Homo-oligomer: A and B are copies of this chain.
Amino acid sequence: MASRASIKLVFLGTGGSYPIPERNVSSIALKVDSEVLLFDCGEGTQRQLMSSSLSFMKVDKVFLTHLHGDHILGLSGLLQSMNMNDREKAVEIFGPRDTGRVLKDIIFKGYFRPGFPVHITELQPSARLDFGDFSVTAIKADHNVPTLAYLFEERDKKGRFNKKKALDMGVPEGPLFSKIHRGESITIADKVIGPDEIVGPPRRGKKVFYSGDTKPCNEIIEAAFRSDVLIHDSTLDASLSDAALRHHHSTAKMAAEVARKAEVDRLYLFHISPRYKDLDLLEEQAKEIFETSKVPDDLSEYSL
């Protein structure tokens, strides 16, 4: 009777390019039960983690979309702080081509040597990492350097077990409960009881799609299809569409079009340019296309 995982989305940094007092650079955390998955890790991410409800020591896996500074420069400090707090458990870092070379230069120079293993894995587009209760799949994004988007998928869960009905039908509590929950039929007093009489339909696991920096692209629309949450590049407003595309970024409106085509439940606009202090403009432009659009504040948290 496995219970549903608790999944929490925390926006650690929602700004693009460079930080401003109101917004830090890119980092998004997904808390899955007690583990924290980090997607990108711009400068200052460790302090954002410390200012959130999450523990920076619980970060075991980091997924980098690409190797621009505003997405990676917080890694070194995060690892050093873990080290000062006696971490022993390995940290797994995933990213696109060149991640190993670039991170080795940035992280392990100077006097710092971590007292715990740091594993760096370069992923090809479409690589799917199966972690048991969830998986993460790398998707090719369209930015001006090698860039991956990421699809987080919780494993589908068994249907709800109707304990009262099982007892009413004469099924004794014990191994037969598990058997029928697994989808097998059982026989009680010469009567065959099928699992669909007691167990509801399987429950689809949650899907969260994170685009990183990208202009709108079909690979993302396809891979994000019917996600619960899409977090999409929304660097500029619609009046700057040409500039957005020239720099391989998206406008809020473009992000909303991706959300609409991908039929997602919710869109969070992300990687906001430092030029915007008032975010209403971006949110309004997205909502014209896709109603459930939002610019999240830094440190805002959402349960899935």
A127 within 8 A of B: no
* Cβ-defined partner of A19 (8 Å) among B18, B50, B73, B111: B50
A79 to chain B, nearest CB (A): 9
A75 to chain B, nearest CB (A): 10
Please state if A69 and B76 are interface contacts (CB–CB under 8 Å).
yes
Please state if B76 and A80 are interface contacts (CB–CB under 8 Å).
no
Please state if B109 and A68 are interface contacts (CB–CB under 8 Å).
no
Q: Quick one: which of A72-120 are within 8 Å of B by CB? A: 72-74, 76-77, 80-81, 84, 102, 105-106, 109-112
Contact of A72 with B110 at beta-carbon distance under 8 Å, contacts A44-B43, A44-B47, A77-B43 already known = yes
Contact mask for chain A residues 272-296; partner B; CB cutoff 8 A; 1 contact, 0 none: 0000000000000000000000000
Q: Which of A47, A51, A70, A81 has the most CB of B within 10 A?
A: A47
Q: Quick one: which of A21-43 are within 8 Å of B by CB? A: 21, 24, 43
Please state if B43 and A19 are interface contacts (CB–CB under 8 Å).
no
Q: Which of A21, A69, A70, A109 has the most CB of B within 10 A?
A: A69
A122 to chain B, nearest CB (A): 14
A59 within 8 A of B: no
Q: How far is the CA of A17 from the CA of B72 in the complex (A)?
A: 20
Please state if B47 and A21 are interface contacts (CB–CB under 8 Å).
yes
Contact mask for chain A residues 35-63; partner B; CB cutoff 8 A; 1 contact, 0 none: 00000000110110011000000000000
Q: How far is the CA of A112 from the CA of B145 in the complex (A)?
A: 12
Contact of A17 with B51 at beta-carbon distance under 8 Å, contacts A44-B44, A73-B77 already known = no
Please state if B84 and A80 are interface contacts (CB–CB under 8 Å).
no
A133 to chain B, nearest CB (A): 31
A271 to chain B, nearest CB (A): 14
Please state if A76 and B73 are interface contacts (CB–CB under 8 Å).
yes
Which residue of the partner chain B has the closest CB to A66?
Answer: B111
A55 to chain B, nearest CB (A): 13
18 pairs, CB–CB < 8 Å, chain A vs chain B:
A18-B46, A18-B77, A19-B46, A19-B50, A20-B50, A24-B47, A43-B47, A43-B73, A43-B77, A44-B47, A69-B77, A70-B77, A70-B80, A72-B110, A73-B73, A73-B77, A105-B105, A105-B106
Question: A67-B110, A105-B105 given. 9 additional CB < 8 A pairs?
Answer: A18-B84, A21-B51, A24-B47, A69-B77, A69-B80, A72-B110, A73-B77, A102-B109, A111-B145
Give 6 closest A-B pairs by Cβ, nearest first: A105-B109, A18-B81, A43-B77, A44-B44, A19-B47, A21-B51
